Amino acid sequence: MSVTQRSPRAGVIGYPISHSKSPIIHGAWLQRYGVQGEYTAIEVRPEKLESFLRNASREGFVGVNATIPHKEAALALADEVTPLARRIGAANTISFEGDRILADNTDAFGFLENLKDGAPNWRADSGPAVVLGAGGAARAVVAALIDAGAPELRLANRTRSRAETLAMDIGGPISVIDWPVAAEAMDGAATIVNTTSLGMKGQPPLEIDLSAAPDDALATDIVYVPLITPFLERAQARGLRIVDGLGMLLHQARPGFERWFGRTPEVDDELRHLVLGEGG
Ligand code: ATR
């Protein structure tokens, strides 16, 4: 059959999909490494997700990234789910092997690799972590920090019950903090992460007092538009080390590319500039 002879296809599925940066990232790697393959943005309506995933292999797809609103549904439809994806409750990297659908989550990996890249001396086990927000992205961040050895994780979310559910699902030394007193949780913190949508272009800023944070704490944001969010500006003004959120997006793409196209891709400044629309 001609399909089996085609070069491998991959892509990103979402609804809507036009904002996804994944085609830029994978496209740059395909070109850089001279890989015969394709990676495209594919709009898949929620009601079409199951038929898309079931037919993908026959259409020549080796895998897809899943983005909003498919991350949870893709997990539920998969034949095999990695323990980490199950714990996070969402899949962003789907592979097709024969007629089997395999679901993984690489957001936790992307989060940690970004910190290793941006702050090589940073260690999760050097002290308590503070995580602000308990939405979808927070689940991967919390799992990453706990698994990397954070001795204590202080989780604050506007809606407290959501933080409590997250803490139960992920497990580990997590204490839930009330949102209005989150600033107190900065005392002794080694790592401070914004996972809320506050500070994103068009959203109000995250206004949190960082004065109680130790001088050597690291602050990072999962928001990357703008690259330096008001929260990171605040952290910088306080003298803390900061790592922006773009690298999480770039690094989470690596395992999928490697699995689908057989090359270990690199994240570098050229790719960062390309994704920011500053060159290439
Ligand atoms: P994502 O999947 O990107 O994390 P999400 O699930 O909608 O998106 O979560 C958004 C996060 O930002 C949540 O933690 C949300 O808090 P609630 O759970 O209370 O909704 C947080 N957030 C959004 N707007 C906020 C605001 N104005 N003040 C405080 N937190 C806010």
Which H helix or E strand runs over 193? strand 191-194
- Which pLDDT tens digits describe the chain residue by residue (280 residues)? 445 557 999 999 999 998 899 999 999 999 999 999 999 999 999 999 999 999 999 999 999 999 999 999 999 999 999 999 999 999 999 999 999 999 999 999 999 999 999 999 999 999 999 999 999 999 999 999 999 999 999 999 999 999 999 999 999 999 999 999 999 999 999 999 999 999 999 999 999 999 999 999 999 999 999 999 999 999 999 999 999 999 999 999 999 999 999 999 999 999 999 999 975 4
Q: Is 162 in the pocket of ligand 1 (CB under 6 A)?
A: yes
- pLDDT at residue number 55: 97
CB atoms within 10 A of CB 89: 19
DSSP-derived secondary structure letter, 228: S
In the block, residue with structure tokens 């570098």:
268
Q: Whose CA is nearest to atom 16 of ligand 1?
A: 158
Q: Which atom number of ligand 1 is nearest to the Cα of residue 222?
A: 3
- pLDDT at residue number 5: 59
- pLDDT at residue number 32: 98
CB atoms within 10 A of CB 25: 26
71 catalytically annotated:
yes
My answer on whether omega of the bond before 8 falls inside 30° of 0, hence cis, is no
Q: Which atom number of ligand 1 is nearest to the Cα of residue 158?
A: 19
- Type of residue found at 68: I
- pLDDT at residue number 278: 73
Which H helix or E strand runs over 270? helix 269-275
Name all domains of the chain by residue range, CATH numbers in brackets: 3-106+253-277 (3.40.50.10860), 109-247 (3.40.50.720)
- pLDDT at residue number 37: 97
Q: Are 191 and 220 in contact (CB under 8 A)?
A: yes
State the DSSP string of 194-222: E-SSTTSTTS-------TTS-TT-EEEES
Helix (H/G/I), strand (E/B), else coil: 121 = coil
- pLDDT at residue number 1: 46
Calpha distance 257→268 (Å, rounded): 15
- pLDDT at residue number 29: 98
Q: Is 245 in the pocket of ligand 1 (CB under 6 A)?
A: no
**Cβ neighbours of residue 105 under 8 Å, at least 6 residues apart?**
82, 84, 85, 88, 90, 91, 92, 93, 140
Q: Are 103 and 85 in contact (CB under 8 A)?
A: yes
Q: Which atom number of ligand 1 is nearest to the Cα of residue 179?
A: 29
